[in-house]
Amino acid sequence: MPTIHIDHQPIQAPDGATILEAAARLGITIPTLCHDRRFKPTGSCMVCAVRRHGAAQFIPACATRVEEGMDIEASTPEVNDFRRAALELLLSDHLGECVAMCRRACPADLDVSRLMTLVERGDDAAAFALLTEHIALPGIVGHLCHRPCEKVCRRAAHDAPVSIRAIERCLAAAEYPPPTAAQSQQIPHSSPIAIVGAGVTGLSAAWHLARRGYTCHVYEAADVPLTSLADADLPPIVIQRDLDRVLQAGVQLHLNERVGDVLPGDVAAILLATGPGQSPPAAVPPVFRAGRCVKPDASLIDRVAAGRRAAHDIHHVLTGAEPDPIPAFRSVLRRLDNAEMLDFIANLNPDPPVDTDFLASESLQREAARCGHCECDIAADCQLRRWSGQLHVRQRRHPASNARYQKRLDLPHLVFEPGKCILCGHCVRVAAEAPAPMQLTLANRGFSTTLTCASADTTDPALRDTAAACVAICPTAALRLRCS
């Protein structure tokens, strides 16, 4: 068994092992993208690049066999710079979107695509639970939000945006069991949290804290809550329904009371959620600020989202939880021209917009089915995204290529987006070895290389299983199953 060194650590590797396998025995993680242990490695992406000490050339760890006496650099700044450059070249013509524009535009980070999927399936209760996980006052938001998500909906370039706000409004009008408390961590003490201001920010924060198991007291100097909505064109039942839901979560509301006069002696934290200029009481525990006392001109949805973020921050401070990780890398799809838009809407539901003034259960599902689901299917565990984030990759470092967005439907049972493909060839191998072979091949050379299918009996139902296997092994979600 040859003995080699990787990052100055000795290791005996079996004969025929690769540098990648030897590094794994040492607990050294080398990024990979095109590698799959079931197939002969090609090293085509070079994301797993390493370098022999003293050499100028970089070599692929997945395809290079160990040799006696090797001294391998796997974690030096130069090696990571090379990997970063390899990823940036891949991303220079990558036409995919990690997170849909509608979610990026939503201050509350609502997973709109997931919400539309649940509504389309008719699982309104699960959709409502997802909605209130992000938006504490869904009825009010469903009537008054300025719809930043709909303004960026790509469907609008074809006919009209998906009526996201109207769907949220209809979900909020139905009666569902209150979502269960999400007590993922033990609350460190039983002291209450005092929230100053029963506006949308204060009630939003109280809702999210109560769901985590905290006791919340909300203090309002006026004789009614939500005074900022007094002039809003809003049915009173909508306000009452949202308020009742917050109170049913265990939030205690104190009207005509100023926090400085009645503040309990033992509180865990205070949240100021009033207008600008409010000063906290003296000699109190940690004080947080959110909403209009921080940003006076904040929109309604911004203030609701600020309450959610404040609840998150309070929980982290009180539990001593680790700070949030660095936000994940997000590939962003550029603006599509008219021809590209035709490809984008291919295989989407062709139904026209539903009259949102009369959304019933069936029409609710039809409207949700118009969603294009722009986000990547595997964004949560995509290796391209993972390593791009860890290596601090910049997607647009290199000038944009001439690659054009395409959504091809000429492969049996598959939707193929060439702009996401890294030409690893895994699908070609899987299709060739399947019980029902599909003759996929990588045709042409260089920048013109693309995936094609020589021939296949598209009437064979077993081919759908082959197509599903190709989708499962694709590392960048360039393939997805076509809707039946």
> pLDDT by residue (tens digit) across 2-51?
999 999 999 999 999 999 999 999 999 999 998 988 888 888 899 999 99
What is the CATH code of the structural domain delimited by 3-92? Answer: 3.10.20.740
State what percent of residues in the chain have pLDDT above 90: 54
Could you give the CA distance from residue 226 to residue 231 in angstroms, rounded to a whole number?
11
Its CATH architecture, for the domain 193-319, is: 3-Layer(aba) Sandwich (3.40)
- Give me the mean pLDDT over the 58-69 stretch: 95
The pLDDT of residue 309 is 96
Mean pLDDT of 349-357: 76
pLDDT of residue 185: 47
| CATH 3.40.50.720 intervals, the chain | 193-319
With bands split at pLDDT 50, 70 and 90, how would you rate the model's confidence at 455? low
Whether 184 shows a pLDDT value over 70: the answer reads no
Every domain of the chain with CATH number 3.10.20.740 lies at 3-92
Q: Which residue has the higher pLDDT, 385 or 259?
A: 385
> Does residue 296 register a pLDDT over 70?
yes
Task: Using the structure block, give the residue that is written with the tokens 């929230």.
Answer: 195
CATH 3.30.70.20 domain residues, the chain: 404-481
Q: Is 128 exposed, middle or buried (0-12, 13-18, 19+ CB in 10 A)?
A: buried
pTM of the predicted structure, to 2 decimals:
0.84
pLDDT band at 136 (very low <50, low <70, confident <90, very high): very high
CATH 3.30.70.20 fits 404-481, yes or no: yes
pLDDT class of 484 with cuts at 50, 70, 90: low
Q: Which of 24-33, 128-137, 213-222, 389-398 has the lowest mean pLDDT?
A: 389-398
**Does residue 265 register a pLDDT over 80?**
no
